[in-house]
């Protein structure tokens, strides 16, 4: 009998163990510096990340081994001559390179093997690569060159050079640095599909260069390189309140290029920018990143960037000093024409004016294809609204523009026809915010609905999240939030794509979670925080807009705006579990917090703008700004702890307690549990940022709930209150009330905008407002994040960031019959999805491989919870990787 039992046990064990050994699992989604097979990586210590492709319940990684080699074949045989980590017992899926010194211009291949919970090795996954760029400024061979014109000259310059190749080409890379913007072409073909390269930086402190694989564009024999330079933010000729035209970096655009060719025989040759290049003016007779572009097709020089072109009339170039001594790689998701769209509406307004309607508001450009006589002037005026008579109304977006004459009309491209048949114009060095395009022509043209196309442009960050619900208006709000988020992402986050295009810090700290739940934004934020570091004063002060030419150190830059320096690195840490940005910014956060402390000895600060664009009630600036000061001190203390800086940890924790005490002493009525005069912002901001004493939290939250009920479930907040209110309610047992506010469809609410046709978020709750009325602002976009957090209940766990452990706290709000939120975190796709059934509620959860979740099960009166058919009594559960079905049913 005993023997038989043993046999049975062995059989069972075998079947389980063969179950584990059979399925293939491997590392997947491999990225280097958060990009797939990037080119032009300059950091000596690139980061590697991967996911587990392993759908088995409870899948875990117990060890990893990374191999890096310049030979991909050696890699597949298990060699890693540049870096071989050996087997590292770890469940981490982020590793920082620490192998042999990386050489410039070198392609490295890497592979990562993992072991599972039974210590079985993975099947060999894909081999990924990264390629280094310059690595060192000294590796540049090219010279900075430009034409001889000065900053006032309007036409954009062309540059060209021809060269011959005699040997067989194996590979070729172009390394292109520019002050301004450029389009690079080889043998008449545009290189790459990026737009508005390089990204905007503080040019005199950091200049970006971009690497392209140009192997396919080169040919045997004669070749030509063409460069077209645009002004961008470098040579800002338009005039507006922020004085970019007076930037001390301002100059005629210039560039430096190295085209590095590797031949089959192993030799290399670099063709560089230098005195042997020639220049001429292009048909782009004016270009402004801020306003528009003007193009005279009569000035085209067909074939200008091809080898056989006669450039005898072109002029010599001059050397220019480099814009900064810090020329670094642009390693990030580029701006692209991400979506092309046809006009939805077209009508003729008079004998020379036509109106196109894209059907939705975007950031980007339009292209127009028309036919007419040479010299015909076609003007394309872009705007977000129409006057009653159908013409484009720009009064909501041109208020800060200060033109000095009428040659540079706002958001208005000018296209002068060559008369050579059908011709197309699309701006290269500008973008706008618009839904409508009003086209006027000085002479008759052939034009119709299909003549105009729209291009939605933005930093092309991969999608990382999805929300779907049974409420179509809510879904539209979510889509509009994404549209506004993306319309405001151009290598740095902006406030609006039309009126300003400024890197307003407040708008960006508000939108950070909204962005990170839905998009893989890390590369853009790492770059933008480098912009912050470039801009910070030695005393810690930051400007309210980043980058800036100097404007914004004196206005709008209190902690409610410029806490970006702390809040953004902290959120990147929470969402990615990566400390790098915290490390890079640590001293800067410290300097910043110390500065506020210096000017706020009591622990309270009045520095800031306060609850911007409120519905009606106003909350003291000191109340909201002190909450941000507190948040910064807490982030700094936590960062200190994470980075092992114990003394700082103690110091800034103590500071945070001091701030909190001073704040509560002044603003909290401990009897009533009311802050200030008890309006929505005054109650929600301290709740959200954690200043409410633990024992009074429920009282304050109850007061907030009462306040909102008394306000008939309508918002009475501005920018800062809007960030806090929904979570302040849903995290304190009032998710139902939060939902009522979020789902309102009459004024003031997000739904009111949607009801009035919005496809993006607005700057003002009041759609009839006469100012602060951009129709594409992300600053009221917290709702995008809240849908994931407050309804889907997906939150990162600060104790195990990067969704290593997921905090899952769904709220089954009554008005919804169905809701699903999913987020692609560093470990894979997290799903939190619920729907009402005849019996109760069914809730599906996906926890990605190698991560866990702490699930807080909603308690619903009269219903009991089952997991995969078995009743469970607990209210919290720790879940391993896998898919789970929970059902709430009548007892």
What does the alpha-carbon distance between residue 792 and residue 404 come to, in Å, rounded to a whole number? 51
For 149, the 3-state DSSP assignment is coil
Which among 855, 750, 879 has a CA at the least distance from the CA of 792? 855
Residue 75, interface with ligand BGC (CB under 6 A)?
no
**Stretch near ligand BGC under the rule CB under 6 A, chosen from 496-504, 531-539, 670-678, 751-759:** 496-504
CB of 370 to ligand BGC, least distance (A): 34
Closer to ligand BGC by CB, 506 or 521: give it. 506
**Stretch near ligand BGC under the rule CB under 6 A, chosen from 26-34, 174-182, 412-420, 492-500:** 492-500
Spatial contact of 802 and 823, defined as CB atoms under 8 Å apart: no
**Stretch near ligand BGC under the rule CB under 6 A, chosen from 54-62, 295-303, 498-506, 801-809:** 498-506
Residue 556, interface with ligand BGC (CB under 6 A)?
yes
**Stretch near ligand BGC under the rule CB under 6 A, chosen from 49-57, 222-230, 504-512, 625-633:** 504-512
In Å, what is the CA distance from 629 to each residue of 183, 473, 528, 590, 681? Answer: 43, 36, 21, 12, 16
Residue 612, interface with ligand BGC (CB under 6 A)?
yes
Closer to ligand BGC by CB, 323 or 543: give it. 543
DSSP string, 406-461: SSS-TTEEEEE---SSSEEE--SS--EEEEEEEEEESS-EE--GGGEEEEEEEE-P
Closer to ligand BGC by CB, 441 or 619: give it. 619
Residue 560, interface with ligand BGC (CB under 6 A)?
no
CB of 510 to ligand BGC, least distance (A): 9
CB of 778 to ligand BGC, least distance (A): 8
CB of 547 to ligand BGC, least distance (A): 15
Token representation of residue 161: 């050079």
**Stretch near ligand BGC under the rule CB under 6 A, chosen from 463-471, 493-501, 577-585, 747-755:** 493-501
CB of 445 to ligand BGC, least distance (A): 36
Residue 504, interface with ligand BGC (CB under 6 A)?
yes
User: Which residue of 423, 460, 495, 887 would you call a contact of ligand BGC, by CB under 6 A?
Assistant: 495
DSSP string, 651-704: HHHHHHHHHHHHHHHHHEETTTTEETT--HHHHHHHHHTT-S-GGGHHHHHHHH
Site string for ligand BGC, 505-534 (x = CB under 6 A): -xx---------------------------
Residue 492, interface with ligand BGC (CB under 6 A)?
no
For 724, the 3-state DSSP assignment is helix
Closer to ligand BGC by CB, 319 or 555: give it. 555
Closer to ligand BGC by CB, 79 or 400: give it. 400
Spatial contact of 179 and 309, defined as CB atoms under 8 Å apart: no
Helices (H), 815-868: none
Which among 179, 781, 154, 833 has a CA at the least distance from the CA of 480? 781
What does the alpha-carbon distance between residue 387 and residue 31 come to, in Å, rounded to a whole number? 49
In the chain, % helix, strand, coil (3-state, to 5) comes to 25, 30, 45
The angle subtended at Cα 650 by Cα 647 and Cα 653, nearest 5°, is: 140
Which among 284, 304, 302, 281 has a CA at the least distance from the CA of 293? 284
CB of 504 to ligand BGC, least distance (A): 4
Cis? peptide before 547, omega within 30° of 0 = yes
User: Which residue of 229, 327, 743, 779 would you call a contact of ligand BGC, by CB under 6 A?
Assistant: 779
What does the alpha-carbon distance between residue 476 and residue 462 come to, in Å, rounded to a whole number? 20
CB of 452 to ligand BGC, least distance (A): 28
User: Which residue of 224, 489, 496, 634 would you call a contact of ligand BGC, by CB under 6 A?
Assistant: 496
Please state, as a whole number, how many other Cβ atoms lie within 10 Å of the Cβ of residue 251: 20
Binding footprint of ligand BGC, residue count (CB under 6 A) = 11
**Stretch near ligand BGC under the rule CB under 6 A, chosen from 199-207, 381-389, 495-503, 736-744:** 495-503
What does the alpha-carbon distance between residue 753 and residue 757 come to, in Å, rounded to a whole number? 7
User: Which residue of 397, 609, 775, 791 would you call a contact of ligand BGC, by CB under 6 A?
Assistant: 609
Spatial contact of 178 and 142, defined as CB atoms under 8 Å apart: no
Q: Which residues contact 298 (CB under 8 A, 6 or more apart)?
A: 283, 374, 375, 416, 417, 418, 419
CB of 523 to ligand BGC, least distance (A): 23
For 107-142, give one letter per residue: b (16+ CB within 10 A) or e.
ebbbbbbbbbbeeeebeebebbbbbbbbbeeeebbb
Closer to ligand BGC by CB, 707 or 777: give it. 777
Residue 401, interface with ligand BGC (CB under 6 A)?
no
Half-sphere exposure of 265 (CA within 13 A, CB side): 6
Closer to ligand BGC by CB, 556 or 748: give it. 556
CB of 624 to ligand BGC, least distance (A): 13
CB of 502 to ligand BGC, least distance (A): 7
Closer to ligand BGC by CB, 227 or 715: give it. 715
User: Which residue of 197, 500, 531, 534 would you call a contact of ligand BGC, by CB under 6 A?
Assistant: 500
Cβ-closest residue to ligand BGC? 495
CB of 543 to ligand BGC, least distance (A): 12
CB of 329 to ligand BGC, least distance (A): 30
Sheet hosting strand 47-53, strand order edge to edge: 26-32, 47-53, 94-96
CB of 784 to ligand BGC, least distance (A): 16
What does the alpha-carbon distance between residue 469 and residue 833 come to, in Å, rounded to a whole number? 9
Q: Tell me which residues touch ligand BGC (CB under 6 A).
A: 495-496, 500, 504, 506-507, 556, 609, 612, 777, 779
């Amino acid at each position: 009998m005993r023997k038989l039992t043993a046999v049975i046990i062995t059989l069972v064990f075998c079947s389980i163990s063969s179950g584990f050994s059979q399925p293939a699992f491997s590392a997947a989604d491999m990225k280097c510096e958060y990009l797939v097979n990037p080119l032009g990586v300059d950091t000596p210590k690139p980061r590697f990340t991967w996911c587990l492709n392993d759908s088995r319940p409870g899948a875990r990684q117990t060890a990893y081994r990374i191999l890096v080699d310049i030979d991909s074949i050696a890699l597949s045989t298990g060699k890693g001559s540049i870096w071989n980590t050996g087997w590292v017992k770890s469940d981490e899926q982020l590793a920082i390179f620490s192998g042999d010194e990386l050489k410039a211009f070198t392609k490295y291949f890497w592979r990562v093997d993992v072991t599972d919970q039974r210590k079985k090795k993975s099947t060999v996954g894909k081999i990924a690569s990264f390629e280094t760029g310059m690595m060192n400024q000294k590796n540049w061979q090219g010279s900075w060159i430009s034409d001889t014109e000065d900053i006032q000259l309007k036409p954009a310059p062309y540059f060209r050079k021809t060269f011959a190749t005699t040997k067989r080409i194996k590979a070729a890379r172009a390394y292109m640095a520019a002050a301004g913007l450029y389009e690079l072409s080889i043998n008449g073909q545009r290189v790459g599909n990026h737009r508005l390269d390089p990204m905007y930086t503080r040019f005199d402190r950091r200049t970006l260069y971009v690497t392209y694989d140009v192997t396919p564009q080169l040919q045997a024999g004669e070749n030509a390189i063409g460069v077209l330079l645009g002004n961008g933010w470098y040579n800002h000729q338009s005039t507006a309140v922020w004085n970019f035209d007076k930037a001390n970096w301002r100059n005629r655009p210039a560039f430096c290029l190295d085209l590095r060719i590797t031949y089959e025989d192993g030799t290399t040759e670099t063709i560089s920018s230098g005195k042997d290049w020639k220049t001429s003016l292009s048909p782009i007779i004016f270009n402004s990143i801020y306003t528009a572009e003007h193009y005279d097709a009569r000035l085209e020089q067909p074939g200008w960037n091809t080898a056989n072109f006669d450039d005898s009339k072109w002029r010599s170039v001059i050397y220019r000093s480099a814009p900064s001594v810090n020329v670094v790689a642009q390693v990030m998701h580029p701006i692209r024409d991400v979506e092309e769209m046809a006009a939805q509406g077209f009508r003729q307004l008079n004998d020379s004016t036509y109106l196109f309607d894209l059907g939705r508001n975007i950031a980007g450009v339009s292209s127009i294809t028309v036919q007419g006589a040479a010299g015909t002037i076609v003007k394309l005026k872009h705007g977000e609204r129409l006057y009653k008579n159908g013409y484009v109304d720009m009064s909501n977006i041109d208020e800060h523009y200060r033109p000095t004459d009428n040659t540079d009309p706002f958001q208005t491209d000018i296209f002068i026809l060559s008369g050579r048949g059908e011709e197309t114009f699309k701006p290269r060095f500008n973008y706008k915010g618009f839904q409508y395009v009003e086209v006027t022509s000085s002479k008759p043209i052939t034009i119709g609905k299909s003549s105009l196309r729209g291009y939605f442009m933005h930093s092309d960050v991969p999608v990382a999240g999805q929300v779907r619900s049974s409420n179509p208006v809510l879904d539209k709000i979510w889509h509009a939030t994404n549209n506004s988020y993306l319309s405001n992402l151009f290598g740095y986050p902006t406030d609006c794509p039309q009126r300003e295009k400024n890197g307003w810090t407040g708008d960006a700290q508000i939108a950070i979670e909204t962005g990170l739940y839905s998009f893989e934004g890390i590369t853009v934020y790492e770059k933008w925080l480098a912009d912050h570091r470039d801009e910070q004063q030695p005393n810690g002060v930051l400007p309210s807009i980043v980058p800036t030419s100097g404007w914004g150190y004196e206005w709008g830059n209190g902690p409610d705006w410029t806490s970006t320096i702390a809040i953004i690195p902290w959120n990147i840490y929470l969402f990615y579990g990566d400390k790098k940005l915290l490390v890079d910014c640590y001293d800067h956060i410290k300097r910043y917090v110390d500065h506020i402390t210096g000017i706020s000895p009591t622990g309270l600060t009045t520095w800031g703008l306060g609850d911007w664009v409120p519905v009606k009630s106003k909350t003291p600036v000191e109340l909201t700004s002190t909450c941000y000061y507190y948040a910064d001190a807490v982030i700094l203390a936590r960062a200190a702890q994470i980075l092992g800086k114990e003394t700082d940890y103690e110091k800034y924790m103590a500071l945070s307690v001091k701030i909190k005490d001073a704040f509560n002493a002044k603003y909290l009525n401990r009897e009533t549990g009311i802050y200030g005069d008890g309006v929505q912002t005054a109650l929600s901001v301290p709740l959200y940022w954690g200043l409410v004493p633990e024992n009074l939290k429920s009282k304050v939250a109850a007061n907030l709930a009462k306040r909102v009920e008394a306000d008939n479930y309508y918002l009475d907040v501005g920018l800062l209150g809007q960030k806090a209110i929904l979570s302040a309610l849903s995290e304190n047992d009032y998710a139902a009330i939060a939902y009522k506010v979020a789902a309102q469809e009459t004024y003031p609410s997000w739904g009111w905008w949607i009801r009035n046709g919005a496809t993006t978020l607005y700057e003002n709750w009041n759609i009839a407002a006469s100012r602060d009325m951009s129709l594409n602002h992300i600053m009221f976009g917290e709702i995008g994040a809240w849908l994931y957090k407050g309804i889907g209940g997906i939150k990162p766990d600060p104790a195990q960031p990067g969704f290593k452990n997921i905090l899952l706290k769904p709220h089954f709000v009554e008005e919804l019959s169905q809701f699903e939120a999913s987020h692609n975190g560093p470990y894979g796709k997290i799903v939190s999805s619920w729907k009402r059934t005849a019996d109760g509620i069914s809730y599906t959860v996906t926890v990605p491989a190698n991560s866990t979740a702490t699930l807080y099960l909603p308690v619903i009166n009269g219903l009991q919870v089952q997991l995969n058919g078995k009743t469970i009594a607990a209210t919290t559960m720790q879940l391993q990787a896998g898919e789970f079905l929970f059902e709430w049913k009548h007892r």
